[in-house]
Structure 1
Amino acid sequence: MAEEDKVKTTFITMWGRFCYKVMPFGLKNAGATYQRAMVTLFHDMMHKEIEVYVVDMIAKSKEGEDHLVNLKRLFDRLKKYKLRLNPAKYKCQPLFRLLRKIAAVEWDDECQKAFDTIKACLIQPPVLVPPSPDRPLILYLT
């Protein structure tokens, strides 16, 4: 948020007067401003390797090998602009914990549960795949 705009977010509580340092999502144009920023930062990747919709980012690919490359590009871009993902939304947070250099590798029940959850998500419908041009595309709308 621009320094001169912070005063515009001032609010008063019984503990004093405060203002935001970053734009909260409750402001009128916050969603549009955020989406515009994401388009600016990821324009060359959008609709090809990733999709960005409000606060969700999805990496996509046609081949498994490409997916790792696309994820790396996404994570590198996030790092470049000092953007962080919300760990509370990670389905595989216990598994990510194992990747830390300072942590001991210990496969516990929480890791197994995360692994089983991810496996179930990957094999159960709806498994989303791009349409095949040589096959009919049938949409069921209700």
Structure 2
Amino acid sequence: MPGLDRKLVEHKLSIKKGYLPVKKARRRMFMQTELKVKEEIERLVKAGFIRPAIYANWLANIVPVLKRKTGAVRICVDYRNLNEASPKDEYPMPMADMLVDGASHNQMLSFMDGNA
């Protein structure tokens, strides 16, 4: 996160032994889709939600998902190779329905979308 000292907090991805970094070849898209993807990436960079990575060891493809109603594009990333090389979490996230049930006695329940 911007503003946090790296001595205090730093996120690192651990990789299982024997796995080498994978750099996927660029995925082809229709020109119209590629323009929408570029617009969305520029919007996310301008908002400070993402930033360019320099000298990335792992390189994954962008998977554009077009919203039928609005025609807008949602950007997803294909991390299957990285997920396979990552060790399983000993403490997985709880199920969403369990979280909602746990908050049911409160008067207000709020959901936050980091992208929007």
TM-score (normalizing by structure 1):
0.21
Q: Which has the higher contact order (CA 8 A, sep 6+)?
A: 2
Structure showing the higher helix proportion among its residues? 1
TM-score (normalizing by structure 2):
0.25
